[in-house]
DNA sequence: GTCTATAGTAAGATAGAC
DNA sequence: GTCTATCTTACTATAGAC
């Protein structure tokens, strides 16, 4: 692909990080420009407006999510476990974008919620194919969403404490997922 | 109790509604005052600052959550089902406050995350007492959190579509909860 | 392609009249 | 207790130099 200018990438990453880490409100043009090491004028050359910045993040989510979807489909432990584990870790490229877009969604940015829903449905489809039962697939998704809810919440005593609590229990959670899957298999 | 002035209540409700419905950013002093039918000066008589408004919402959450906790503990269907169902409905007093505080938490308001975590732990304790197994209790909580994550997200095609999707499946979800509970009981 | 300077606007908060 | 008027600051965005 025609490699986009480095400054543009830096600005996008900076915006993403501030939105995800300090909230949408903190992501002012000044703050983004400063974090990227660029002037405000420079920022506005690459992105005509603040909204354009947000739109670019949504596009970035779609791209990284497509790549991650391949990994999920091919995961040795299976899509369900891959998904649940990923909901907790939140360290990959997709997670950065996903997190930022989640904040944009709660800030009512047009298109953000739709993007989240679309990706969510792709994940659900993969899990449904694996476990072969709609209700179980949804329950597994909900557990993953629940984990994500905790991971995405800005830290009580900071994110690390909650995250580490669940990390130490992620295997227990995955066991419960296994119980659901087994019960569904028995019924078929 | 010494009934607080009506205007104060109106202002608090207006702020809550805007934060939950249009995002924290939309809840400007002007917007809140207008919705409550009060001038900005009037608002600032009751709440010295915007932060004071947010703090009052957090306090409101604690009060309503304490009342709801009684209902949950005494629910005929049991705390677990009460919790899962409540995560989807999000129509009660607590839900209004909880939703607003969730937005405040993502906007990094001090104390908001702690308030959510505290209430969350009370719920978890009730469910743990009921099902008698920590891992299962956590899995059930996660399912509820997942439902809430969907319910709280501003609507894809609007909240109604997602909510009604899960409403029609809430019994299926509760069945999965039952599977987990039964499996845990069998192990003891 | 990136900068400085600046215009225009919206938001939080104060002061003082009623 | 509620209002109007006003001050101040911070943010988005434009214009034009380098």
Does B30 have pLDDT greater than 80? yes
Q: What digits encode the pLDDT tens for the residues B68-113? A: 999 999 999 999 999 999 998 777 889 999 999 999 999 999 999 9
B126 interfacial to chain A (CB closer than 8 Å): no
Q: What digits encode the pLDDT tens for the residues B107-163? A: 999 999 999 999 999 999 999 999 999 999 999 999 999 999 998 888 755 556 666
Q: What is the percentage of chain B residues whose pLDDT exceeds 90? A: 77
Cβ atoms < 10 Å from Cβ of A6 = 8
pLDDT of residue B170: 83
8 A C-beta contact, residue B99 and residue B42: no
pLDDT of residue A154: 80
Residues B32-52, mean pLDDT to the nearest whole number: 98
Instruction: Give the containing element (helix H, strand E) for A153.
Output: none
Number of Cβ pairs < 8 A linking chain A and chain B:
113
Please identify every stretch of chain A with a pLDDT value under 70, giving residue numbers as ranges.
1-4, 156-163
Q: How far is B41 from chain A (nearest CA, A)?
A: 25
pLDDT of residue A147: 93
Nearest residue, CA→C1' of C4? A41
Mean pLDDT, chain A, integer? 92
User: Would you tell me the crossing angle of helices A134-152 and A79-89 to the nearest 10 degrees?
Assistant: 20
Distance in angstroms between the alpha carbons of the first and the last residue of chain B: 47
Please determine, looking at this structure, whether the domain spanning B1-48 carries the CATH number 1.25.40: no
Q: Which residues contact B162 (CB under 8 A, 6 or more apart)?
A: A117, B150, B151, B153, B155, B156
**B135 chain-A contacts, CB cut-off 8 A:** 169, 172-173, 175-176
């Amino acid at each position: 692909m025609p490699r986009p200018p480095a400054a543009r990438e830096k600005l996008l990453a900076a915006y993403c990080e501030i939105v995800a880490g300090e909230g949408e409100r903190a992501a002012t043009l000044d703050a983004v420009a400063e974090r990227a090491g660029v002037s405000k004028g420079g920022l506005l050359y690459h992105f005509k407006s603040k909204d354009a910045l947000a739109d670019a993040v949504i596009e970035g989510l779609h791209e990284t999510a497509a790549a991650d979807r391949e990994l999920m489909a091919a995961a040795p432990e299976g899509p369900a476990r891959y998904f649940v584990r990923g909901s907790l870790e939140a360290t990959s490229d997709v997670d950065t974008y996903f997190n930022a877009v989640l904040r944009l969604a709660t800030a009512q940015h047009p298109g953000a919620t739709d993007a989240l829903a679309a990706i969510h449905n792709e994940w659900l489809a993969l899990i449904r194919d694996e476990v072969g039962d709609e209700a179980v697939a949804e329950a597994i998704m909900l557990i993953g969403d629940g984990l994500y809810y905790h991971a995405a919440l800005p830290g009580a005593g900071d994110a690390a404490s909650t995250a580490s609590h669940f990390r130490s229990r992620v295997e227990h959670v995955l066991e419960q997922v296994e119980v659901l899957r087994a019960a569904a298999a028995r019924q078929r």
